[in-house]
């Protein structure tokens, strides 16, 4: 459809009548302002265009996310109900690590609620207030940062193998602050302000710092996890070792899925600069929320509050080491007893010979 605009006589400005364009078929539509006369070079335009779908003002590639966040809210509510029921039931045996898991669950639920209301407001009014969207993005960046720091702390054996992170605390906090800034900038560029379907490649430059930090985190997590597993194997703490092996397997599956999906995402965006595959673009965003929720469920299952929660606490390591030392001392005592028994039998065999040295030794043995 072409809407012509004319300049009358020597007029330097003109106005365009309000026009309503009915859309009868689902597809990707673009609006272009074209000046065909070379004399009109440098012409500036101002105004507003309003786009609306049958279900509201949400763009077609964002509309499915509104329903998706409803399902994510329900999923987080179910997880919260199960976790908090166990949390209240065994609150006397709660570990510090389980307090951190509770905070991540609460932030995840809060984030999904905020995203849903942000999309609902955008869909019903056609407006997306910068302050509200920035607040939603900030909560999401905090949740992402805490989730990654939680996994890193668990991999380091915090609260299980070591009581504190010691000298690594400042480094972990510095990495967390850096990741928060990178995630905040990326999400603000992605969600705050005007929705632009043709600037996908420009966002790749902001993805690079975030991807680099994620890669560094993954490397640090698996390095720490390897050391933790080695310590548990040396100490022969079977319960904790089995727990960490399950956690490492789940983490490995999540990393493999992430790498595969990142490869697909880069291909998807590089081959579709104009968002012609907009109907399936929402899956890119939804996958990361599903993956983080699935990994959180695994952590909740492994570290669920129970009567035996304290057996995974750091204090149990001292007891285990004490038990090992006690077992070694008992073994030594048993071998000494065997030697004494041999000596006693030998002395009994020579009972007919009286030796003062043997008598004194027998008195000491008695």
Per-residue pLDDT of the chain (366 residues; tens, 9 = 90+): 888 888 777 778 888 888 888 888 888 888 888 888 787 788 888 888 888 888 899 888 889 999 999 999 999 999 999 999 888 887 777 777 788 889 999 999 999 999 999 999 999 988 888 888 899 999 999 999 998 988 888 888 776 666 666 677 788 889 889 999 988 888 888 887 666 554 555 566 777 888 888 888 889 988 888 888 888 788 777 777 888 888 889 999 999 999 899 889 888 878 887 778 888 889 988 999 999 999 999 989 888 887 765 555 555 444 444 344 333 433 344 444 444 443 444 444 444 444 555 555 445 444
Residue 171, domain member (yes or no): yes
Residue 354 belongs to some domain of the structure: no
Number of Cβ within 10 Å of residue 203's Cβ equals 13
Look at the chain and report how many structural domains it folds into: 1
Largest alpha-carbon pair distance within the chain?
143
Q: Domain for residue 350, yes or no?
A: no
Residue 72 lies in a domain: yes
Q: Assign residue 157 a region: left if phi > 0, alpha if psi is -120 to 50, beta otherwise?
A: left
Written as six digits, the tokens of 155 are 């991999």
The label of the residue with tokens 């996890």 reads: 225
Residue that has been written with the tokens 């004490």 in this structure: 322
Domain contains 320: no
321, 235 contact by CB (below 8 A): yes
Domain contains 51: no
Does the residue 29 lie in any domain? no
Q: Whole domain around residue 172: which residue ranges? A: 60-243
Do the beta carbons of residue 47 and residue 87 sit within 8 Å?
no
Q: Look at residue 249 and tell me if it is in a domain.
A: no
């Amino acid at each position: 459809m072409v809407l012509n605009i004319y300049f009358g006589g020597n007029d330097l400005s003109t106005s365009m009548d309000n026009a309503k364009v009915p859309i009868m078929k689902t597809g990707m539509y673009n609006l272009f302002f074209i000046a065909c006369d070379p004399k009109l070079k440098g012409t500036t335009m101002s105004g507003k265009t309003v786009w609306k779908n049958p279900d509201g003002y949400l763009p077609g590639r964002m509309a499915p996310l509104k329903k998706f966040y409803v399902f994510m809210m329900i999923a987080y509510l179910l997880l919260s109900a199960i976790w908090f029921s166990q949390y209240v039931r065994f609150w006397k045996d709660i570990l510090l690590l389980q307090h951190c898991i509770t905070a991540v669950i609460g932030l995840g639920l809060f984030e999904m609620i905020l995203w849903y209301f942000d999309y609902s407001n955008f869909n019903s009014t056609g407006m997306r207030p910068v302050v509200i969207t920035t607040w939603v993005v900030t909560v999401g960046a905090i949740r992402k940062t805490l989730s990654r720091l939680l996994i890193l702390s668990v991999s380091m054996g915090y609260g299980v193998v070591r009581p504190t992170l010691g000298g690594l605390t400042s480094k972990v906090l510095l990495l967390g602050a850096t990741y928060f800034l990178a995630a905040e900038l990326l999400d603000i560029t992605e969600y705050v302000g005007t929705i632009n379907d043709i600037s996908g490649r420009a966002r790749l430059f902001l993805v690079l710092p975030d991807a680099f930090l994620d890669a560094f985190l993954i490397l640090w997590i698996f390095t720490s996890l390897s050391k933790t597993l080695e310590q548990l194997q040396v100490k022969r703490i079977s319960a904790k070792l089995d727990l960490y092996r399950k956690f490492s397997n789940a983490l490995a599956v999540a990393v493999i899925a992430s790498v595969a999906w990142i490869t697909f995402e880069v291909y998807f965006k590089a081959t579709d600069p104009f968002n012609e595959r907009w109907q399936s673009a929402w899956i890119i965003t939804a996958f990361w929320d599903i993956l983080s929720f699935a990994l959180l469920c695994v952590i909740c299952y492994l570290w669920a509050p129970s009567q035996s929660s304290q057996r995974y606490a750091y204090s149990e390591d001292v007891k285990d080491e004490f038990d090992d030392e006690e077992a070694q001392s008992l073994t030594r005592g048993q071998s000494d007893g065997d030697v004494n028994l041999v000596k006693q039998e030998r002395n009994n065999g020579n009972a007919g010979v009286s030796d003062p040295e043997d008598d004194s030794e027998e008195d000491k043995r008695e």
